[in-house]
Chains A and B, each alone.
Chain A
Amino acid sequence: MENATPVAKGPFVVKDCDLITQATGIRASNLKEFRDGLSRAPVESVYHHFWGRLMRPQFDEPEYNNDFASWTMRGLNDKVLAERLSMVVPSDFEDLEDLRREILEVLDQRSSDSDLLPWAGGEQKFFFLQSQIVIFDTGLTFDHPLDMASYLPSFSTGSIFFHFIDARGRTEHRRDDFSLWLRGFGEEFRPLARMLTGIDPYFSSLKEIRKLVTQTFQHYFEERP
């Protein structure tokens, strides 16, 4: 029966990454400037403010899950807009330009709701940043998910970012690399792949995501007959 298990397309090659942050020189103090800035910022800026935040120092779980939403709340004190922006899910969009268009629409809709133009205080400006991602090999490969399970707690946060977060922007089905790899084994690990797909990455730090992924693997193998 062992021979009946379809083989994954190849070993899982563990990569690591760093994000290097650059200023774009674009800043905003109110909603109009913010919309204008977003429309002309490099598209990498959208990536940075949605996902790059996970690679930056953060203390508690963030109230909102992207920088745009956080700033409209903290800087402009606009809770309605913060809530709307927080519900924009990047993986729903074909690419970053589509995602940008959606955010611009949300901003336009909010502008039409009210004639008020709230200003951010002097030191609360929004600075549009962008990231370059530097990806490198770790030298680690795994042929079987069981081997990976015991090693997951040692994955760097950069590896978790690359395989669990960044993957959503570069894979065909907007999925993480782990579940895609597991699907390559056919039905055998499909339940595990489904469980991983169910992890919402928007409200956790990379360390927490690593813990969740590890626990998901471990529970799966512990409970498997």
Chain B
Amino acid sequence: MELPEEYLRNFVEEYAAVTGRGIIHHLEQLAKPLKGIKVVHVNSSREGGGVSEILQKLVPFQQALGLDARWEVMTGDAPFYQCTKSIHNALQGSSIDISEDLLDDYRRANRENAERLGTLLEEADFVFIHDPQPAALIEHFPLRRGKWVWRCHIDVSHPHKPVWKFLQNWVARYDASIFSLPEFAQPLPHPLYIIPPGIDPLSEKNRDLPAEEVAGIIPLFGLDPNLPVVLQVSRFDRFKDPLGVIEAYRLARKLTPLQLVLAGGSAGDDPEGEAVLAEVRRHVEEDPHIHVLLLPPSAHRTINALQRAADIVLQKSLREGFGLTVAEAMWKGKPVIGGDTGGIRLQVVDHYTGFLVRTPDGAALRIRYLLHRRDRLSEMGERARRFTLENYLLTRHLREYLALMVSLVHGSRGRIEVAG
């Protein structure tokens, strides 16, 4: 969808107010040689999950910089999503064998979407395919004229080999891949770019909120106003280790009064969430100080208020591609206790912007420490905000996409000088 010019101008000015004009000027200069090029992003979900949140702002921003950017979403039926969820889990290391029938559903959905998106993808100068769901689209475009880039948002450092081999059939045909961390990059016969994602400081989930709205979240969900809030925001997904979080809370609570909020949504492409949620609810039993909140995909403002109302934010993932919720919490000045894995390590600088932990015991220890040492909690929170401002906002993510496009246009030379 093409957005009005005035809207796009104001859009950019709003970011300038947060990041400073210099960052915007830098983006404008970098985008100059890319003006007018046709860019299409394809993923599998319009709402819910980190990828759609990124695209909701990345695409208009590219438009505002003069690129002819579009965002298309794959359609699919329940077996397709069941298959892609299994692929997702297998790529993150689970030993899952996927039936041939389901793999056929994957191929079929990609074929049908290729027919629907035909000319648009064939004529694009750049096609960014996000994650495994639409990866097989490339097979149906032998006459593609642009550069096709596979953007992998998940941790594929230890993929289940048969599933990676299945996907590799298509991924190897791309002109380049993007991974969030060097550890995730798999051997492929094309350039492997390393680009961590970033959060949008002006989204409903991250923009400043009035103090009364933040305070109002406590009674809204029946939280105890006299107890500190420890929060984890994530899908109900085993890799996010919700049961480990509950264990950490129980260990910490033996010595430190607190309450735990597990706030999760479900994404349209995640059929496993309900089973994990049921397991979490069984584990909570009747503890009145654990609040399990199932929020709709549109509850961005609620999540924003919860993160701001929290004293500490956890992201105790066992595997994590990047962990946008970490940057979100840090942007709100919260220290994060995160699993010592994947992209969490890039954001949580141990003992500076939070703590990296490997066990529920480790998480419990750090919760107790931060609730006891409020001075350190504030200090780490302030550093976390500054670190996110400088490194993990959407503007930095966009800058690297632009540099990548320039790089692909100019080939593999080590130094590329763009004409002014």
Binding site for B on A (CB under 8 A): 16, 18-23, 25, 44, 47, 57, 59-60, 123, 125, 127, 129-139, 154, 156, 158
Contact = CB atoms under 8 A, between A and B. Distances in A.
A136 B415 CA distance: 11
Interface string B391-412: 1100000011011101100001
A138 B185 CA distance: 33
Contacts of B346: 57
B92 to A, nearest CB: 15
A22 B23 CA distance: 23
Contact of B29 (A21, A47, A133, A137): A137
Interface in B180-216: 182-183, 185, 187, 191-195
B400 to A, nearest CB: 6
A129 B182 CA distance: 8
Contact of B353 (A59, A127, A131, A137): A59
Given A20-B193, A59-B387, 9 more contacts: A22-B192, A23-B194, A57-B390, A123-B340, A125-B183, A136-B32, A136-B33, A136-B418, A139-B29
B4 interface: no
5 contacts: A59-B352, A131-B414, A135-B415, A136-B33, A136-B418
B416 interface: yes
B22 interface: yes
A89 B44 CA distance: 49
B26 A158 contact: yes
B151 interface: no
Given A22-B191, A59-B353, A127-B182, A135 B418 contact: yes
B326 to A, nearest CB: 13
Contacts of B179: 23
A18 B399 contact: yes
Contacts of A138: 25, 29
B10 to A, nearest CB: 23
Contacts of B187: 25
B417 interface: yes
A132 B416 contact: yes
A23 B400 contact: no
Contact of B194 (A44, A57, A129): A129
Contacts of B183: 123, 125, 127
B420 A139 contact: yes
A133 to B, nearest CB: 5
B30 A134 contact: yes
B383 A59 contact: yes
Contacts of A16: 26, 29-30
A141 B383 CA distance: 35
- With a 10 A CB-CB cut-off, give which of B29, B391, B419 has the most chain A CB atoms: B29
A23 B192 contact: yes
Contacts of B402: 18
B418 A132 contact: no
A44 B414 contact: yes
A207 to B, nearest CB: 8
Nearest to B413: A132
Contact of A132 (B25, B182, B383, B415): B415
A156 B413 contact: no
B167 interface: no
Nearest to B191: A22
- With a 10 A CB-CB cut-off, give which of A21, A47, A123, A137 has the most chain B CB atoms: A21
Contacts of A60: 349, 352
Given A22-B194, A132-B413, A137 B352 contact: no
B316 to A, nearest CB: 16
Contacts of B383: 59
A133 B416 contact: yes
